């Protein structure tokens, strides 16, 4: 069958494409990505020459582009990773997040209705639930936790989730939603916490940590997330939300210190900076539903996952150094200007 993956040149989307290409080589994979700052086409180089892979540069909020692609490919499944996702950027420019994350989702679902797509899967985030108190470690997000957003980013993702469920109820569109905890692993854009700390530590530069670093996140290795999404889109119940968590809670400061120890760098590189406005204190996912219904549980504990991630960044310095220099944005031009 044909699977359309939007945002597939980004961190999780590219890992998902690699996972699908390996696990389900009989399927056709189509990637639609606008190649904004977080999209890196060179990441997908191993897939570009495969006969069952196609890349299309385009914006999910561009109805003409989306309609043409659906008409050509007639996808069986659509998995929407495409999103503006950096909280700090959403505080600076909320409008961009509303356009991509809400109107882009609507555009995709309208095309799904028109072309009879068998499943639309929305990749969401645990940030739609707000945060949990640090002094109540027994509390975790379930699928019944009320939405309580803290930033323009999380509000835009929550709005998209509500729209997806409304399209299911109103139009009968076969949808599913997954809400995941913080991902980490290969191809993570260097402005995010873990790759940022790795790159700066290797350069012996200061490591900026918000507030006192006590904010806790539930870390999920990206390959485990890919396996969970595949299970939901193929076997999950239509109209349902599934939480995907790693059972790997760590404070931001713990994560940073772990990276410094692994790289043999001193903790004196840590520099505490003014906290982000509305910064959530703790995220923790209860994945009981996806485990009970689909048999999924994360396979990667944080200690082994962070070790693999650090090693990947050490082995692939050219990838992230090209991003830091800005040269990665020239890859599309190099690949396509003479075609």
Residues with active-site annotation: 126-127, 153
Task: Say how many residues make up the chain.
Answer: 339
Angle between helical axes of 222-235 and 11-23 (0-180°, round to 10): 60
- DSSP per-residue string spanning 94-146: HHHHHIIIIIHHHHHHHHHHHHT-SEEEEEEEGGGG----TT-TT--B-TTSP
Copy the structure tokens of residue 261: 């120890």
Write phi, then psi, for 4 (nearest 5 degrees): -95, 120
The span from the CA of 14 to the CA of 185, in Å, is 11
Q: Are 180 and 225 in contact (CB under 8 A)?
A: yes
Copy the structure tokens of residue 253: 């400061």
**End-to-end alpha carbon distance in the chain:** 27
In this structure, how many other beta carbons lie within 10 angstroms of the beta carbon of residue 55? 21
Q: Are 150 and 89 in contact (CB under 8 A)?
A: no
Q: Give Cβ neighbours of residue 177 (< 8 Å, ≥ 6 apart).
A: 121, 122, 124, 161, 164, 165, 240, 241, 242
Helix/strand/coil percentages in the chain, nearest 5: 50, 20, 35
């Amino acid at each position: 069958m044909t699977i359309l993956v939007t945002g597939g040149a980004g961190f999780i989307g590219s890992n998902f494409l690699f996972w699908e290409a390996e696990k389900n080589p009989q399927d056709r994979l189509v990637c639609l990505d606008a190649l904004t700052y977080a999209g890196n086409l060179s990441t997908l180089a191993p897939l570009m020459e495969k006969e069952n892979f196609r890349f299309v540069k385009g914006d999910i909020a561009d109805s003409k582009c989306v309609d043409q692609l659906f008409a050509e490919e007639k996808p069986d499944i659509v998995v929407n990773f495409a999103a503006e996702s950096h909280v700090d950027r959403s505080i600076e420019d909320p409008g961009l997040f509303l356009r991509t994350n809400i109107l882009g989702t609507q555009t995709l679902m309208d095309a799904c209705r028109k072309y009879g797509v068998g499943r639309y899967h929305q990749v969401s985030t645990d940030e739609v639930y707000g945060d949990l108190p640090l002094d109540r470690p027994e509390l975790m997000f379930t699928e019944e936790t009320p939405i309580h957003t803290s930033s323009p980013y999380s509000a835009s993702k929550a709005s998209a989730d509500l729209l997806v469920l409304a399209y299911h109820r109103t139009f009968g569109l076969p949808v599913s939603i997954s809400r995941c905890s913080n991902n980490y692993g290969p191809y993570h854009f260097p402005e995010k916490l873990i790759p940022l700390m790795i790159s700066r530590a290797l350069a012996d530069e200061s490591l900026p940590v918000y507030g006192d670093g006590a904010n806790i996140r539930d870390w999920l290795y990206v390959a485990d997330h890919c396996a969970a999404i595949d299970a939901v889109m193929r076997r999950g119940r239509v109209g349902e939300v599934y939480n995907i968590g790693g059972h790997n809670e760590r404070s931001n400061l713990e994560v940073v210190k772990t990276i410094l120890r692994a790289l043999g760098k001193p903790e004196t590189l840590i520099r505490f900076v003014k906290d982000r406005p509305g910064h959530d204190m703790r995220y923790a996912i209860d994945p009981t539903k996806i485990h009970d219904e689909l048999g999924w549980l994360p396979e990667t504990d944080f200690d082994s996952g962070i070790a693999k991630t650090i090693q990947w960044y050490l082995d692939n310095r050219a990838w992230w150094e090209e991003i830091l220099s800005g040269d990665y944005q020239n890859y599309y031009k190099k690949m396509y200007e003479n075609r």
